[in-house]
Each structure stands twice: as C-alpha cells, then as structure tokens.
Amino acid sequence: MVIFKTNLGDIHIEVDADNAPISAENFLAYVRDGFYDGVIFHRVIPGFVVQGGGFDENFNQKTTRAPIKNESANGLDNERGTLSMARTQDPHSATSQFFINLEDNEQLNDMGTRPGYAVFGRVVEGMEVVDAIAKVPTGAAGPFRQDAPQETVRIESAEVI
C-alpha cells in the first residue's frame, strides 16, 4: 500500500505485485527513494485520466531510472481507479510516470497484437481526491500546450505503508 499525500487530500493505492511485478517494484522503488515527493500531476483530461510522476512544480522533468518492460498483458484492465504506467509510443518506455484512470478505458488495454498500458495498482481510498484533481481547470503550462492544471496539484509526499 502507498499513500500519496497531495495538496488536495490523500490517495491510498494498493499495488498489485502479483500480476504486475516489474511495474509494481519500479513504482515502489521510486516511492521508497522519495522521487515522488514534490512532483505534480501535470496532465488532467476529465473523463479520461490524471497523470503525474515526472515533473516538479516548475515543470522541470526529473531524471529517472531506465525504462521497464511493458506488462500490459497481465490480465488487469484500465478501469476507473486503476493506476497504469505512462509511456511513449514505444511499449517498453515507461519509467516514473503513471496515470489514474477516471473511467473504464478499454482502448488502453493490451489487444494481443498491440501492447496496452500496464495496470499495476488501484486507488482503494481517496478517489474523491482524484475526481477533485480532474476538476482543476487546465490549459497550457510548462512544455504542455493543453491539459496542464492551471493550479498546482502536488504530491507532497509518497510513502509505503
């Protein structure tokens, strides 16, 4: 279990190391190292996802570890409240960034011939905080032309409990 203490409230996350061992250990290592302390949710798309884990308040990208292997074929679906690894078009490019699904996003699941986005956890308490993040006005900020919160949404601290 991981607790994100954000400036909008706490989010409790159950990590699924059984079904997503690589992604779960990657996430937990970043938490244990204090990497997420002070990072922001930098992308908010209502009805889709809130994304964070890679930028500080000034939109400086943090230095990460090497990318991990994509585990999207683990049987876990991108459903409301699940956490998944964010990545580029390269399926094996995920590092520290993650997103929380605001809705069931079947299009992000593994399709057999097309890798999806690896689910590795679930919000078990604090989904109202995630929904509050989704209501923050968005626009251009830092390197982003759209979808960036216009008010800072920060992870004050992250800890494994």
Q: Read off the tokens for 44.
A: 């908010």
Q: Are 85 and 54 in contact (CB under 8 A)?
A: no
Instruction: Tell me the pLDDT tens digit for each residue of 83-133.
Output: 999 999 999 999 999 999 999 999 999 998 999 999 999 999 999 999 999
- Each residue of 23-70: pLDDT tens digit? 999 999 999 999 999 999 999 999 999 999 999 999 999 999 999 999
Domain covering 2-160: architecture: Beta Barrel (2.40)
Q: Please tell me the predicted confidence (pLDDT) of residue 105.
A: 98
For residue 109, what pLDDT is reported?
98
CB 35 within 8 A of CB 55: no
Per-domain residue ranges of the chain: 2-160
Q: How confident is the model at residue 7, as a pLDDT?
A: 98
The whole-angstrom separation of Cα 115 and Cα 113 is 7
Q: Which of 83, 88, 35 is nearest to 62 (CA)?
A: 35
The enclosing H or E element of 21 equals: helix 21-32
> What is the strand order of the sheet 155-160 is part of?
41-45, 49-52, 98-101, 82-85, 119-125, 9-15, 2-6, 155-160
Is this prediction's pTM over 0.95?
Answer: yes
